[in-house]
Every structure is written in structure tokens, then in C-alpha cells.
């Protein structure tokens, strides 16, 4: 099927609307999870299965570089403090992950280019894994530093019967799964902290504020631009 008539095909329009709409709608949600992309995967698989066999050698190379180069540039800016995540500096991204990611990019692009001359289909099949691997190696430390909810999981799951509450944070279910909680976390409204603390001795409170407890927080980390502190109620 020619490119000019591609949009005239009802099947192509269906797959395009299906995939693009899924990505756009879930991108509008402030809290993003990997499994949100699952509804778009069938559309992508059907589109790839129906696509004509690629012929150009440089196509998969350019597609891979279109992802890998911006990722490496952004990672470099994050590591030098010239860029931030949610207005917060990244402290854990050093030169080693960047160097490894750059090596992966060079080796991957060389492999794609070599395959492109002999087996273009395999070259296209390799483009996405190489780009994703570069992104994973380059950005994993920064993303885990700012978005890893599992850092609180061990303490939250230690005594869930005493109750868990969250205060001053736009909670979207991040901790229920990672801490394997069987009961929901109480999301406190303004002014509801004192009453909850009085009713839940020994409970746990995740808050963006310094709470007036004698003991220091049992955990503290950045999450989605908020500095969260985990306090155990006396």
C-alpha cells in the first residue's frame, strides 16, 4: 500500500487512532505507570505486522538515534546540574552510566547499520531495543532517585495493621502495590492529621511536612517532585 493512500485505508485509520489516542490520554495523567501502555500494544503489533518490508539502510539507524541522542543529551544535562526533574537536582547520575550508555549506543547503531545492508527487517527489529537500552542505562539512576516508591515499601509493610496515612501528597496508589498492603492508605484532608494520629498509635504517616514527633523520620526521599518523610506515630 502506498503512503499516499495509507490514511484512506480504514484499518490504518483505526490503528492510528487507537494507538495515538491511548498514548495521548494516558500522557495527560500526572502519575504514569509502565502498564498504562498495554492498551496501545495490540495496535502497534498489528500495524507492524501489516507494514511493508523496509528497504532503506539508514531508516532504522535514524529511528534509533532519534531516541538515543536526546536521551544522552538530557542525561548529560541532569548529571551536570543544568537540568532538573520536577524542579529538583539529580544527585545519583554520574559519568559511569553515561559512558556505558554511550558505548551501548555506538555498538547498537553499528549493529543496526551492519544488519541494514543484509537484513533490513532485522535492523528495524533491533532499533527499538537499542534505543530503550540506552535510555534505561542512561536514566535509570535519575528516575529511581525521583520516582521509586519501593524505597518506603519495607517500612510501610512492616506493620500495616496499625494504619498508614498520607498527608500533603497527591497520592495515586503508588505504595499499595509496592508495599503489598491489604488495606487502603488513608489520604488525609487539610486539618485531618491530628485526629488520625490520635486514633492510630504506632501507625505510619507519609508527609511532605516536618511533623512534630520526637523521633526523626524513619524514611525520607524525593518522589515526583515532593520530598516525602515517613514518620511512625508514637
- In sequence order, the 6+-apart residues with CB closer than 8 A to the CB of 219 are 151, 152, 155, 228, 229, 230
> From its phi and psi, is residue 216 left (phi > 0), alpha (psi between -120 and 50) or beta?
beta
Task: Compute the distance between CA of residue 226 and CA of residue 87 in angstroms, rounded to an integer.
Answer: 10
Asked whether the whole model's pTM tops 0.85, one would answer: no
Out of 5-9, 175-179, 186-190, 222-226, which region has the weakest mean confidence (pLDDT)?
A: 5-9
> Domain segments of the chain: what residues?
1-52, 54-146, 151-232
What number is the average pLDDT over the span 81-85? 90
Task: Compute the distance between CA of residue 128 and CA of residue 30 in angstroms, rounded to an integer.
Answer: 25
Out of 47-56, 79-88, 201-210, which region has the weakest mean confidence (pLDDT)?
A: 47-56
What number is the average pLDDT over the span 184-208? 89
Question: Mapped to the 3 state alphabet, what secondary structure does the chain carry?
Answer: CCCCCCCCCHHHHHHHHHHHHHHHHHHCCCCCCHHHHHHHHHHHHHHHHHCCCCCCCHHHHHHHHHHHHHHHHHHHHHHCCCCCECCECCCCCCHHHHHHHHHHHHHHHHHHHHHHHHCHHHHHHHHHHHHHHHHHHHHHHHHHHHHCHHHHHHHHCCCHHHCEEEECCCCCCHHHHHCCCCCCCEECCCCCHHHHHHHCCCCEEEECCCCCCCCCCCEEEEECCEEEEEEECC
For 124-169, how does the pLDDT look when each residue is reduced to its tens digit (9 = 90+)? Answer: 889 999 999 999 999 999 988 888 888 888 888 877 778 899 998 8
| Whether residue 103 has pLDDT greater than 70 | yes
The grid coordinates of residue 230 equal: 515517613
Structure confidence at residue 54 (pLDDT): 67
Structure confidence at residue 61 (pLDDT): 92
For 17-30, how does the pLDDT look when each residue is reduced to its tens digit (9 = 90+)? Answer: 998 999 898 888 87
Place 176 in a pLDDT band, splitting at 50, 70 and 90: confident
Question: Does residue 70 or residue 3 have the better pLDDT?
Answer: 70
Out of 70-74, 158-162, 180-184, 223-227, which region has the weakest mean confidence (pLDDT)?
A: 158-162
Structure confidence at residue 1 (pLDDT): 47
- Side-chain half-sphere exposure of 128, counting CA atoms within 13 A: 6
Amino acid at each position: 500500500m502506498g503512503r499516499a493512500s495509507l490514511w484512506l485505508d480504514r484499518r490504518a485509520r483505526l490503528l492510528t487512532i487507537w494507538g495515538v489516542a491511548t498514548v495521548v490520554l494516558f500522557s495527560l495523567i500526572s502519575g504514569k505507570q509502565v502498564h498504562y501502555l498495554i492498551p496501545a500494544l495490540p495496535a502497534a503489533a498489528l500495524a507492524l505486522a501489516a507494514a511493508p518490508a523496509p528497504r532503506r539502510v539508514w531508516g532504522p539507524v535514524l529511528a534509533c538515534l532519534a531516541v538515543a541522542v536526546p536521551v544522552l543529551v538530557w542525561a548529560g544535562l541532569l548529571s551536570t546540574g543544568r537540568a532538573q526533574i520536577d524542579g529538583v537536582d539529580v544527585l545519583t547520575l554520574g559519568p559511569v552510566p553515561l559512558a556505558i550508555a554511550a558505548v551501548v549506543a555506538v555498538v547498537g547503531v553499528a549493529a543496526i547499520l551492519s544488519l541494514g545492508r543484509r537484513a533490513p527487517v532485522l535492523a528495524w527489529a533491533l532499533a527499538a531495543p537499542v534505543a530503550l537500552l540506552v535510555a534505561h542505562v542512561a536514566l535509570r539512576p535519575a528516575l529511581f532517585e525521583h520516582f521509586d516508591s519501593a524505597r518506603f515499601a519495607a517500612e510501610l509493610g512492616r506493620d500495616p495493621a496499625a494504619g498508614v496515612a498520607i498527608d500533603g501528597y497527591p497520592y495515586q496508589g503508588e505504595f499499595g502495590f509496592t508495599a503489598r498492603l491489604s488495606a487502603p492508605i488513608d489520604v488525609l484532608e487539610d486539618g485531618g492529621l491530628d485526629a488520625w494520629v490520635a486514633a492510630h498509635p504506632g501507625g505510619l504517616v507519609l508527609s511532605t511536612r516536618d511533623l512534630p514527633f520526637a523521633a526523626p523520620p524513619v524514611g525520607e526521599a524525593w518522589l515526583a517532585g515532593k520530598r516525602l518523610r515517613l514518620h511512625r506515630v508514637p
